[in-house]
Copies of this chain bind each other. A is one copy, B any other.
Amino acid sequence: MPEFMDVHTGMAGVTPEGLMEAHNADLAIQGDEHVNFKHAWADPESGMVFCLSEAPSAEAVQRIHERAGHRADNVYEVPVQA
């Protein structure tokens, strides 16, 4: 299954509880699109959030994020890893 890194901006001040709540909102519906969100990293200072997932497509990742209420700014497929 392809892997994706998606990026959210504008999340300055995000708390551990806020990120967990957003992540859980994704997890609750991700099965509808066969997406598996694996991890999320957030920088409360800059407002950047990075989410790693396995999914059939970038569009599937975005549909879950949109339905959960937090559309990503960009979704990148990351087939090359080290």
Contact = CB atoms under 8 A, between A and B. Distances in A.
Interface of A: 3, 5, 14-16, 19-20, 22-24, 39-46, 48, 50, 52, 74, 76-82
A80 B3 contact: no
Count of identical protomers in the assembly: 2
Contact of A5 (B50, B76, B78, B82): B50
Contacts of A44: 79-80
Contacts of A19: 80-82
A72 to B, nearest CB: 13
Contacts of A45: 77
B82 A46 contact: no
Contacts of A16: 80-82
